[in-house]
Chains A and B, each alone.
Chain A
Amino acid sequence: MQEIVLIGLNHNTAPIELRECIAFSEKDTLGALARLVDIPVIDEVMLLSTCNRVEVLLVSKNQPKAILETKNFLSRFNDLPIQRFDAALYALQGDAAVRHVFRVASSLDSMILGEPQILGQIKSAYQTATQSKTSGVILNRLLHRTFFVAKRVRSETGIGGNAVSISYAAIELGRKIFDSLKDKKILLIGAGEMAELAVEHLIRHKAVEIYVANRTFERGVNLAKKFNGKPIHFEEIFDTLEHVDIIISSTGSADFVIHKKQVKTAMKKRRNSPLFFIDIAVPRDIDPEINRINNSYVYDIDDLKGVIEENLEDRRKEAGKAERIIDEAVIRFREWYKNLDVIPTIVALRSKMEGIAGSELEKTLQTLRHLSEADREAMTRMTQAMINKIMHNPTRLLKSDSPHINKSVYLDFARRLFKLDE
């Protein structure tokens, strides 16, 4: 009997150095799939490789052998002795493998719980497998169920809700202060990856004017160009406070760049229109006391991290709901899979035919009331014989053990031709 098998390693079982050694590039994947599917005990196969995991999903009649062969393959392909990575590998079969695939796609197994990229990565891995024709009936079905489950988890639970990155957390806060970030004016002080990312998010939310202040004016000019903004001199920051709404600061300054007194004065000039300070610098640029001024809000890096931790906690709670959705999906997949077995299919096919023959026979006999009891019996025998004759070849074919036919394809076709799954 064919079973689904999953062999892999992820961020929990293997350190980055090991994951790097085993990772497959997109080009590698094509070659790897071709070689994997050539292994006789592997009927269907798919390969997922991201920076956090490498997983081989396959279908095999001889699972222990398939697992062994796959390990050998990983070793040969990456030129790495098995002992180096064997301890990091996990091998799952049947329901456990199915559950794992559902959990990975729903981002329950991700490093950052609920991050959305993984689903796209699985989709493209599956696409590569279908293009290479290494996936078959079982993996096709499994992956379609997987996409469905992942979508359901995303829409029915809050697993993807609330920001879990610094820049998104800042955006989320901004939207709780200003409602919409449209037409808001931004002042970026200093430079840095996180600060620039936050500015990019703000621009995507239709923030308009971007002012860029830098100790070295030239750097400010370059950065301003990137955001289509206006460079200003460091000394102009104080005057700019009057016009902007969101200040993102990320300088290497040892002292505060913006002091409470300055904001108090600016607040009067801007008639208490709210100011939101995002302080990504360590040591801090913005005097935390500014948070006590009415209508001004200061979040430093630790505050934002606190927000993220809180949001992650929410996601963890939501993960429980997601697990229940997955439990249900695993059971449903199991039911479909069980039916893909030979005997249930033959039984279903026969009972379908008997059902049709029985009801047609009854209808006909109703109109032929003059027939004797013996005639009726003869007709019943005849339909029975027809069913047996019709069933003969399909039964033999489905039951055959020939290695040349992919039985799951035949079973799937039989079930679909006669609509046995309804």
Chain B
Amino acid sequence: MTDIEVKNLSRTYEYYRKQQGLLGSFKSLFHREKLYAEAVKNISFSIESGELIGFLGPNGAGKTTTLKMLSGILHPTNGEVKVLGHIPSQREKIYQKQFALVMGQKNQLIQDLPAIETFVVNKEIYEIPDKEFQENLEELVNLFDIKNILDIQVRKLSLGQRMKCELVAALLHKPKVLFLDEPTIGLDVVAQKNIRDFIKKYNREKKTTIILTSHYMEDIKELCQRVIIINLGKIIYDGKLDDLIKKYAPHKLLKVVFNGNGVRREEVEKFGEIDEFNPYVCTFKTNRSEAKNTAVALLSSNLPVDDIIIDEVDIDDVVRKIFTSQS
């Protein structure tokens, strides 16, 4: 079943340019130069029920704008969006009760009260029956192990604790579709891993459809099989993460360690394109099909080879390459 259907979606923002300085501010009181920015340009994709999709792209690529249109905060300038058969911008209650949006940089928790109070308010807003609420709350609280912070003012919690509470607040009504906009932003590695593990488990157990945006490749690598890469408002890749590497990185990295006195550059140049070189460690870029042959050739030569590692190009590098080649 298709949960999310996006067709030729575009969104344009209006903004103004202000000249630098005080004089510019005065001028802009009377006349402002109006500009338009196309944050999302004619994108289309569809997502099946239960999928966990990674939404990748640099700052300002249009990720959040797309999520906002999927959750009905923004009206599309052009194109169509359908989530669970509803048009989000109509803001039907029946749709709103079936999805949740968590933004790493915006919070829904009432800052001056303990998180439990927001949970209770959400229970009423989403009209969750008492029994269901108790069960969900208990389950989520145990999963995150946050029983002991429920009665502490949200302002006093650490960022990681707060994020856990944000997720609980968003999941109490058991959404079928979940939008996570940089849920791990600003968190330390341990907290990041906690959140990541939770998302993985939740997606697996509840079959919730999840779209995740993140700047941390770790999140994407760990969680998503399929990624949609968006840059300058356009989708530039939509497919499996593994295929992405094959498509954009047609070569593998062959790392050769030498012992003894090492080698000279001229001695190894004939084996392939050198990526990095020092007398003891040399990395070659080779075609996928030729990696093995190159390794054999190296081993059978009389160079003092100690070890050979054949590795994929790092996904971070692939993505960075895509982004830079685009802009």
Q: Do the two shown chains form a genuine complex with each other?
A: no
